Amino acid sequence: MRTRPLLTLAAAVAALSLPAFGTASAAGTPVLTTGSAGGAAVAVGDTLTAQLASGTTATLRSSATGTSGVSCTSSTFTASVTDNPAAPGTATESVSAQTFDPASCTSNVTGVLGVNSITVDNLPYTTTVSSDGTLAVAPASGSTVQTTVKLRTLLGGVTCVYQAPGLSGGADNADNGITFTNQQFSKVSGSSLCFSSGFFTAKYAPVTDAGAPVFVN
């Protein structure tokens, strides 16, 4: 009469002593995956790309709450993954290119007729993405995050150079995007038509790896 209860107890003990494969798998999920949260790992060396989120613009305004400045409807970035540890953790990328199509850019600054080019300088930048969604962009040691804006004006071409020590933003799995809001740059050279501070706002989505959306875990 005691055999079945004893066997049942032995089976329960054996089950409790087995490794928790589901928990171990979840714990081994890397920070960056493709297809879904907890999906396939993004490999070190993979190239990530993104364009501006549909219907949005990238802007460089003269103040955090102002409307004067430059706006573009076409911008892209390219980054390669240099580290993708297990979550929770921080993945690292190297941003090799960030472009703005001048044909898509306009300016409402008085005296400015148009935008000739916007160039992101001092690349590559190091970008870190953490499991909590925080994102940071940093230049190489001793350098700065720098953007050069060339404008057409009534007096001819004007070059405005803006710098920042780094940028901070956020990643969101809802649209696989990254967002920068009012990231402040300071003018280091340029005429009076170049505003003294530039506040950068942009949303890039979706971020993809070989066409597959990238998730942060």
Residue 27 pLDDT > 70: no
Paired sense of beta strands 58-61 and 197-204, if any: antiparallel
Residue 98 pLDDT > 60: yes
What lies within 8 Å, CB to CB, of 129 at 6+ separation is 31, 32, 90, 91, 92, 93, 135, 171, 178, 216
**pLDDT of amino acid 107:** 95
pLDDT range class, residue 154, cuts 50, 70, 90: confident
**pLDDT of amino acid 214:** 98
**pLDDT of amino acid 92:** 98
pLDDT range class, residue 155, cuts 50, 70, 90: confident
- For residue 64, the 8-state DSSP code is S
Q: Are 180 and 52 in contact (CB under 8 A)?
A: no
Residue 187 pLDDT > 90: yes
User: Domain tally for the chain?
Assistant: 1
Q: What is the pLDDT of residues 68-90, one digit of tens each?
A: 999 999 999 999 999 999 999 99
Residue 4 pLDDT > 60: no
Instruction: Give the DSSP letter string of 71-120.
Output: EES-EEEEEEEEE--BSSSEEEEEEEEEEE-GGGEEE-STTEEEEEEEEE
Average pLDDT score over the chain: 89
Average pLDDT value for residue range 150-167: 95
Range of the structural domain that residue 110 is part of: 3-216
Give the angle 119-46-142 at the CA atoms, nearest 5°.
45
Q: How far from 84 is each of 45, 52, 204, 214, CA to CA, in Å?
A: 10, 24, 20, 12
Q: What is the pLDDT of residues 128-144, one digit of tens each?
A: 999 999 999 999 999 99
Instruction: Give the DSSP letter string of 21-43.
Output: HHHHHHHT-BSEEESSTT-EEPP
